[in-house]
Amino acid sequence: MAWYNLLFQKMAHIKPFRALRYDPARVAVSQAVTQPYDKITPQMQERYYAASPYNLVRIILGKRLATDGPADNPYIRAAGFFSDWRRQSIFLQDAEPSLYRYSQTFTVPGSTTQVERQGFIGLGKIEDYSAGIVFRHEQTLAKPKADRLDLLRATRAHFGQIFMLYSDPTNEIEPALRVQNSRVAELTDEYGVVHRLWPISNPATVELVQHAMQDKKLIIADGHHRYETALTYRNERRAADGAQTDAGSSPYEFVMMTFVNMDSPGLLVLPTHRVVHGLDSFSMDGFREKAAQFFTVDEVDCSLDARRATAILKEAAHTGTSLLAVARDRVFLLSRPKSPETALRGTSLRQQGLDVVQLHKCILEGALGISEDAIRDQTNVSYIRDTAEAMATAREGKADVSFLMNPVRMQQVRDIAFAGEVLPQKSTDFYPKLLTGLTIYALE
């Protein structure tokens, strides 16, 4: 019965791999790697294109052309670049299977506090959510998954990291990774974040980490679309190969992940603010009347800056959910919730206390009448992380109103995910982002 126990034992399966990495003799890694594909603006795309002919943006987010069609499109061009660069030895494959210690040193936005976040890169086995090993915490959208699936089918490689969280309150794993190997990469990105990478191939260290991770449950912090894309691709390849569902050694059964301890003080979650635009008729007086059904509404100094806004939100959080509504020349503080039960009907008690859920259900849907579909499709709502930018967008008349909020706490993310629930899209912003291209996992 040993095989039966092994088959039904829930465990996180982590393994080392021989990563493809940019050859520093051919191209400076700082000129070749990028932010995650979904964080690349058109301006960033142009800058990456200009940085180096080997910048990875040509693969992960290539330019679209008017002549694109079935025979030539961004995915076909991406596969061509990847194949050519491998043939030219722009990428070199590490000699030994390794895990990769990954350190990010950064300044907390809006402060002078410096923090280091530690993690490690390895391959993680792709699991169905029903297995109870990998948990999501946010909704996904069909369009981004279709885009990433086309890229994966064309290149048969993973270029970006799926950001995975595990719990290690006694901090056993991070110290094991602090070996004396020479680091193979160090660079500072456009946000001033210093990234460092060390390969770890010592079998004893790798085995220690694998053993320590076996009983961990994993939460996707960032990369929900890419994880579900990898899951779809795995199922396609299984079907094509006639593989059984328990066939776990094929390359497509794994995806590249960065693992970070959710109990680490270096883990930072920022809010993503909501910017509302395109409403047929909007006035702050009318909004105040409707919002008063759900919150106590107080007018505050309209000249406040981003730092002061953050401080007000943090202080008001002691009374429960707190939000700031910023318009062209007025600012309201929404606090001390008095939400009617009808507004939060259908949401669990653990979600009802979340600022982002109250904002969506009570304010966006309840007070402003924006439908769930319009929110999901970003018809009237867009998302901005930077507090000053969100405020400026409303003050300059580019939006009707911006809503600022406090971040979701890590414990809340954990409770929601492990309960099998999901938050609205863009509820969390784990900062900083993991760079794309430091390591590459080629399936073939």
DSSP string covering 242-271, please? Answer: T--TT---SGGGEEEEEEEETT-TT-EEE-
What is the CA angle 13-15-137, rounded to 5? 50
Task: Please give the share of the chain, as a percent, with pLDDT higher than 90.
Answer: 81
pLDDT tens digits along 39-62: 999 999 999 999 999 999 999 999
pLDDT interval class at 241 (50, 70, 90): confident
- Predicted pLDDT of residue 9: 52
Q: Single out the residue of 357, 369, 390 nearest to residue 138, CA to CA.
A: 357
Burial of 80: CB neighbours in 10 Å, binned 0-12, 13-18, 19+: middle
- Distance of alpha carbon 186 from alpha carbon 29, whole angstroms: 8
- Return the number of other C-beta atoms located less than 10 Å from residue 191's C-beta: 12
Please check the confidence at residue 109 and state whether its pLDDT lies above 90: no
The pLDDT tens digits of the residues spanning 320-352 come to: 899 999 999 999 999 999 866 677 888 888 888
* Nearest-angstrom CA–CA distance, 117 and 269: 12
The pLDDT of 296-306, averaged and rounded, is 95
Q: Which residues contact 65 (CB under 8 A, 6 or more apart)?
A: 72
Beta bridge partners of 382: 275
Distance in angstroms (rounded) separating the CA atoms of residues 172 and 205? 12
Q: What number is the average pLDDT over the span 231-252? A: 84
Tell which residue, 57, 63, 53, 64, has the closest CA to residue 34: 57
DSSP string, 361-398: IIIIIIIT---HHHHHTTSSEEEE--HHHHHHHHHTTS
For 288, the token pair is: 């105040």
Q: In this predicted structure, what is the pLDDT of residue 1? A: 38
Report the candidate in 381, 347, 382, 349 with the shortest Cα–Cα distance to residue 361.
347
Average pLDDT across the chain, whole number: 92
Percent residues over pLDDT 70 in the chain? 96
The pLDDT of residue 423 is 87
- Is the pLDDT at 8 greater than 80? The verdict is no
d(CA 363, CA 274) in angstroms, rounded, equals 11
Q: Which residues contact 255 (CB under 8 A, 6 or more apart)?
A: 123, 124, 126, 158, 162, 226, 227, 230, 441
* Strand pairing category for 114-125 and 99-107: antiparallel
* Helix axes 142-155 and 74-87, enclosed angle (nearest 10): 40
Name the token pair of 174: 């991070």
Q: Which pLDDT score is estimated for 343?
A: 78
pLDDT band at 93, cuts 50/70/90?
very high
Q: Name the more confident of 180 and 381.
A: 381
Q: Is the pLDDT of residue 247 over 70?
A: no
pLDDT for the residue numbered 2: 41
Cβ-based burial of 210 (10 A; exposed 0-12, middle 13-18, buried ≥19): middle
